[in-house]
């Protein structure tokens, strides 16, 4: 039976975004580049306003300032259109697939309909499966679960742990050293695939580094893999929020994305790609929805994608992810690329010009998204990040960014404590500033002024842990805190 449902208001609103394009050619010189830079409160493109863009935060030194969110690579705020869509759906929320009520039928339609905007956003093929997951880590774990026996997985040590680690229980893993440049990456992958053992093979490729921002030669790596009879999975967690991509044009077999990186932080991600390995494997999570029939002697599993979406699905997360994909796919991405390139150049060049600051790159001359990682001589990364927050209202990330092998390579033996994923050791720590749709020139310039001051004179305040020990010892949240800090935590929820 086919149920015809009217499109909710949020879908009608989203449809209008496709015609609301901002066309601005990439800046060709310094003057046009400066004109492309966004000012405070000015969205990078119509329809892509972020929630909380004008939020103000207290300073430990007194007063308030607009929050400068330079931590988009970790998790991005929601787009306003995503929040509006979720709020609309919550008025009609019900469990999907197994309810007879009107709200259940409506949510089922929305949940299943959310697959197509995601597929379209990543340039998927018509027969590609779209499996909703929790995030990119979950998507890679799902694919690892579905690998055929005797699969060889080739992966660079520069990958995020989400793409580096899931294969170790189910496959033979060939881990490649950090390549010197894009050509070296292609040559290393080709050599590893040529020498592999007989059987299926999978090449794991990142779209853009979460540590240094370099955009990898995905199409070239995919061509090498195809020539050697291997498949390719693309980690697009960092690439997708910043650049257009097409699974079909790049020649990859699978792509993983996270909603919380894509301005849809509602607990959903997706694995998009070929369905044969997914269909041959048992359910990733056994339970309701993953099974077509449970009999006395036999259990029959549901087809893909339901096969790997056991339990009550996250309809809100799926709607949020699809809405973000629709919104981002409905604007001129070249405009966003031009704005981001100008912001990133301003950020990277400004930091490199500060005495005592080192900007870390894997490939210094490579194209990169808006991620800049740096260290300040003589200052622990955690203290610098704490001072940027407490004294300047700037949010950055410090640590090893769940990419320990890459950070070890970049920083050498400069270890100073926690490795960034809750694991103590000599990994080394750095500070990462990452731009996004809420970033303005004022945010970048404020960071540059603050880092210049810290590099020259150190933080203004003393930083200690909860027991009063001087930093770099850290507090219960893993962060140094000002020794004197009168800022109260606001009661945002009833249980505080």
Which residues are the active-site residues? Answer: 402
Nearest to 270 by CA among 117, 133, 138, 140: 133
Structure tokens, 164: 């580096």
How far is residue 366's CA from residue 216's CA, in Å, rounded to a whole number? 9
355: which DSSP letter?
T
Residues in CB range of 264: below 8 A, 6 or more apart: 78, 79, 82, 317, 320, 321, 323, 324
Please report, in angstroms and rounded to a whole number, the separation of the first and last CA atoms in the chain.
48
How far is residue 342's CA from residue 94's CA, in Å, rounded to a whole number? 44
Structure tokens, 193: 């695939």
Element (H, E) at 417: strand 417-418
How far is residue 82's CA from residue 85's CA, in Å, rounded to a whole number? 5
Residues in CB range of 415: below 8 A, 6 or more apart: 425, 426, 427, 428, 429
Q: Where are the beta strands (DSSP E) in 148-260?
A: 152-156, 172-176, 201-206, 231-235, 254-258
Query: 485 and 463 in contact (C-beta within 8 Å)?
Result: no
């Amino acid at each position: 039976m086919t149920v015809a449902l009217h499109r909710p208001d949020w879908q009608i609103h989203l449809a209008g975004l496709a015609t609301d394009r901002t066309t601005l050619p990439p800046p060709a010189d310094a003057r046009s580049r400066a004109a492309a830079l966004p000012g405070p409160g000015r969205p990078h493109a119509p329809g892509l306003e972020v929630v909380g863009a004008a939020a103000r935060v207290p300073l430990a030194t007194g007063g308030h300032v607009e929050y400068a969110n330079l931590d988009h690579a970790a998790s991005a705020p929601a787009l306003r259109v995503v929040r509006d869509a979720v709020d609309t759906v919550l008025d009609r929320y019900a469990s999907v697939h197994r309810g007879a009520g009107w709200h259940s039928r409506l949510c089922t339609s929305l949940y299943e309909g959310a697959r197509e905007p995601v597929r379209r956003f990543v340039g998927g093929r018509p027969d590609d499966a779209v499996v909703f997951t929790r995030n990119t880590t979950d998507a890679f774990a799902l694919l690892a679960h579905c690998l055929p026996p005797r699969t060889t997985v080739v992966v660079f040590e520069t990958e995020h742990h989400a793409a580096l680690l899931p294969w170790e229980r189910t496959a033979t893993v060939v881990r490649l050293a950090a390549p010197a440049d894009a050509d070296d990456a292609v040559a290393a992958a080709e050599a590893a695939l040529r020498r592999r053992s007989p059987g299926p093979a999978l090449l794991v490729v990142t779209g853009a580094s979460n540590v240094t921002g370099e955009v990898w030669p995905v199409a070239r790596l995919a061509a090498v893999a195809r020539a050697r009879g291997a498949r390719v999975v693309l980690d697009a967690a960092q690439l997708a929020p910043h650049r257009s991509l097409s699974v079909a044009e790049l020649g990859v077999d699978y792509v993983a994305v996270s909603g919380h990186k894509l301005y849809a932080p509602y607990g959903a991600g997706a694995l998009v790609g070929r369905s044969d390995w997914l269909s041959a494997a048992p359910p990733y999570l056994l339970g309701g929805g993953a099974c077509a029939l449970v009999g006395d002697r036999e259990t029959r599993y549901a087809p893909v994608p339901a096969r790997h979406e056991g339990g009550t699905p996250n309809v809100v997360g799926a709607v949020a992810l699809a809405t973000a994909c629709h919104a981002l796919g409905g604007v001129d991405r070249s405009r966003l690329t031009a704005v981001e390139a100008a912001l990133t150049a301003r950020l990277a060049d400004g930091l490199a010009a500060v005495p005592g600051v080192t900007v870390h790159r894997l490939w210094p001359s490579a194209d990169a998204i808006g991620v800049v990682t740096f260290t300040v001589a003589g200052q622990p990364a955690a203290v610098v990040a704490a001072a940027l927050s407490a004294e300047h209202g700037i949010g950055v990330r410090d640590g090893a960014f769940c990419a320990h092998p890459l950070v070890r390579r970049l920083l050498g033996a400069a270890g100073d404590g926690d490795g960034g994923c809750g694991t103590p050791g000599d990994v080394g720590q750095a500070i990462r500033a990452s731009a996004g749709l809420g970033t303005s020139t004022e945010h970048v310039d404020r960071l540059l002024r603050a880092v210049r001051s810290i590099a020259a004179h150190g933080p203004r305040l003393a930083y200690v842990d909860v027991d009063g020990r001087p930093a770099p010892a850290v507090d219960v949240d893993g962060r140094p805190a000002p020794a004197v800090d009168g800022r109260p935590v606001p009661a945002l929820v009833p249980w505080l």
